[in-house]
C-alpha cells in the first residue's frame, strides 16, 4: 500500500479538481447563502468547506481502492459512475449559486443522489471498504437534498 501512496495523492488531486470547479462557479456563494432564509437545522456557511474537504478525500480514497484492484479497464463501470457523480457534484453550485434556480438545483441534486447511490453500490460490490467510504458522502448528499428543497421553498423570490 505504501508504494501506491503517490497514486492515492493523484486520486485526491483529480477529485479536488471537481471541488475547485464547483467553487469557481460559486464565487459569491457566501454572500448569497447569507441572504437566504434557511431552516433552523441548516449548518453555518463555514462548515461546508471543511465538510467537503473531508468528503472529497474519502471519496478519492474509495475510487483509488477500486482502481488499485482493477485498474481503469477492469473497473470502467465503477469509475465512470464516479466521474459522473463528480460532474454532477460540480453542477449543483452552478444551478444554485449562478443560475439561482431552486428547481434546477433540486433536480440536479436528485440526480446527484442517484449517481452517488449507484456509485456506492458498484464500489461496495467490488470492495466493501470502498463502498463503506461512500456512505458518509451519500448521507451528506441526502442532507444537501433536503436542505436544497427547504431553502428553495423558503426563498421563492430568490430561487
* pLDDT tens column, 94-145: 999 989 999 999 999 999 999 999 999 999 999 999 999 999 999 999 999 9
User: Is 104 strand, coil or helix?
Assistant: helix
pLDDT category at 21 given cuts 50, 70, 90 is confident
8 A C-beta contact, residue 131 and residue 121: yes
- Chain-centroid distance of CA 49 in Å reads 12
| CA pair distance 45, 95, nearest whole angstrom | 18
- In this prediction, residues 58-65 reach a mean pLDDT of 97
> Is the pTM for the entire model greater than 0.85?
yes
How is 24-43 classified by DSSP, letter by letter?
Answer: HHTTTHHHHHHHS---TTPP
CATH of region 2-154: 1.20.1260.100
Amino acid at each position: 500500500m505504501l508504494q501506491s501512496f503517490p497514486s492515492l495523492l493523484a486520486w485526491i488531486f483529480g477529485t479536488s479538481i471537481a471541488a475547485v470547479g464547483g467553487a469557481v462557479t460559486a464565487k459569491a456563494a457566501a454572500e448569497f447563502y447569507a441572504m437566504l432564509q434557511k431552516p433552523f437545522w441548516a449548518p453555518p456557511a463555514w462548515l461546508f468547506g471543511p465538510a467537503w474537504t473531508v468528503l472529497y478525500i474519502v471519496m478519492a480514497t474509495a475510487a483509488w481502492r477500486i482502481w488499485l484492484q482493477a485498474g481503469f479497464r477492469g473497473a470502467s463501470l465503477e469509475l465512470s459512475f464516479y466521474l459522473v457523480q463528480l460532474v454532477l457534484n460540480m453542477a449543483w453550485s452552478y444551478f444554485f449559486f449562478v443560475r439561482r434556480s431552486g428547481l434546477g438545483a433540486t433536480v440536479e441534486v436528485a440526480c446527484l443522489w442517484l449517481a452517488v447511490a449507484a456509485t456506492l453500490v458498484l464500489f461496495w460490490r467490488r470492495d466493501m471498504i470502498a463502498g463503506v467510504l461512500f456512505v458518509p458522502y451519500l448521507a451528506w448528499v441526502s442532507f444537501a437534498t433536503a436542505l436544497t428543497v427547504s431553502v428553495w421553498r423558503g426563498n421563492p423570490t430568490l430561487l
